[in-house]
Amino acid sequence: MMVIRPICASDYPALYQMAVESGHGFTSLPVNEELLMRKISRSETSFAKVTNTPGDEGYLFVLEDTSTGQVCGTSALEAAVGLDDAFYHYHLGKVVHSSRSLGVYKTVDILTLCNDYTGVSELCTLFLRPPFRQKHNGRLLSKMRFLFLAEFAERFSDKVIAELRGVSDAQGNSPFWQWLQEHFFSVDFPTADYLTGIGQKVFIAELMPKYPIYVSLLSKAAQQVIGKVHEQTRPALALLESEGFSCRGYVDIFDAGPTVEARTSHIRTIRESKRLKVQIGQVAAGTEPYLISNTSLSSFRASWAELSPAAHGEQITISPALATVLQVSAGDWVRISKI
C-alpha cells in the first residue's frame, strides 16, 4: 500500500536521489546536501509548530511503499512565500501605443518584473520516481496536499499557487533564458536555476532588467515558450486545471513557465472533501477510488483506497490494513475526497 507521511531525517538519501533524478529546471530540489538537510529540518520544525496563521513554514511529504519501505516520491506545501526572500515573477501584460492624429493604434505585450504573489501559499516540489508512475500514485502525491490544506486551513493563505516547469531541452537550456543571458547575464540557465534553488537570489535583483520588456524584442524561440510547460509537466498542469487552477499571466523569470493560482476554498478536492468517523470492517462492494487522510498534523498520513461512503451520515468503513497505514482507530476522524 502507498502512504503519504511527513519527511524525516532518515529519508535524506532518498531525497538526495530524487534531486539527482529530477534534473534541470526543478528549482526546489537542487543537488545540494546542506540545503536538502535544511529542508528536512525546516519541515520537521513546521509540523511541530503551534500556529494559526501562515508564516515561514514549509511542509515536505514523502510517498512510501509500505510493503518495502521504499520512498517513491515527494511533494511539499509552502505556507506563505516571499516573507524572507523576494519572490519574483514576470507578469505578462499589455500597453497601447496610439496616435489619433496618425490613425495608429497598436497593442504590445510586455513582461514586468513583480512580487505580486508575496504571502500566498504554494504547491511545490512534486516529484514521483519513474518506476512508480502508475495507478493513482501521481494523483495521490499531488492531491493529498489539498486534504492537508482543508484540514489545516488556518495555517495557509486563502490563495494557492503552483509554478510549473517551462520549456527546456535535455541539457537544461531554456530558449527564454538564452535571450536574457545574452542581453543581461553571463550565467547559463542550469547555474541560475541552481543558485535560486539554494537561496542565492541577490543576482536577480542586481542584474534582472528593472523596466518592462517588450515581448516583440525577444527572440522568436523565446516568445514561443512564454507561458508554455515542459513536456513532462503537462499532466501536472491538466490535473491542476481540473481542480480549478488557472494562469493569470504570471510566468517564471528563468524559463517563462506558467504559474497557476486558485482560491483555496474553490479547489475542487477541498470543496468536495468530507470529514467522516471511522468504522473498521469489511468494505462494501461497488466501491470507488478515494483519497483519504487522518486528521493529525505531526503524524499526518494519507493514502488512496477503494471505498464506499454512504451518501448521508458521518461514518465510513475502512479495512483494518488501511486503518493501520493511516494510524487511526474506530471512532477517529478521517477526511476523504474522490480521487
Tell me the CATH number at 314: 2.40.40.20
Instruction: Mark whether 220 and 318 lie in a shared domain.
Output: no
Q: Identify whether residues 191 and 255 lie together within a single domain.
A: yes
Residues with catalytic annotation?
Answer: 230
Q: Which of 239, 269, 299 is the last residue of a domain?
A: 269
Whether residue 54 is found in the same domain as residue 76: yes
The stretches of the chain forming alpha helices (DSSP H) are 12-22, 33-48, 137-151, 175-183, 189-197, 202-207, 220-224, 234-242, 268-272, 320-326
Residues 231, 124 share a domain: yes
Assess if residue 96 is contained within a domain: no
pLDDT digits (tens, 9 = 90+) for 206-260: 777 888 999 999 999 999 999 999 988 899 999 999 999 999 999 998 889 999 9
CA-to-CA separations, 2 to 101, 107, 149, in angstroms, rounded:
68, 51, 20
Structural domain total, the chain: 2
User: pLDDT band at residue 177, thresholds of 50, 70 and 90?
Assistant: confident
Does residue 186 sit in the same domain as residue 256? Answer: yes
Q: Based on the fold, state whether residues 164 and 234 are members of the same structural domain.
A: yes
Q: Which of 269, 291, 316 is the last residue of a domain?
A: 269
Residues 6+ apart with CB under 8 A from 297: 47, 152
Q: Are residues 34 and 47 in the same domain?
A: yes
Reported as a single tens digit per residue, the pLDDT across 73-114 is: 999 999 999 998 888 899 999 999 898 898 899 999 999 999
Domain holding 290, by residue range, is: 274-338
- Please indicate, yes or no, whether residues 310 and 265 belong to a single structural domain of this protein: no
Q: Do 280 and 263 lie in a common domain?
A: no
Domain end point (choices 269, 287, 306): 269
Contact by Cβ (8 Å): 75, 125: yes
The pLDDT tens digits for 265-311 are 999 999 999 999 999 998 877 678 999 999 999 999 999 999 988 77
pLDDT of residue 38: 93
Q: Is 89 helix (H, G, I), strand (E, B) or coil?
A: strand
Cell numbers placing 304: 488512496
- Are residue 243 and residue 307 in the same domain, yes or no? no
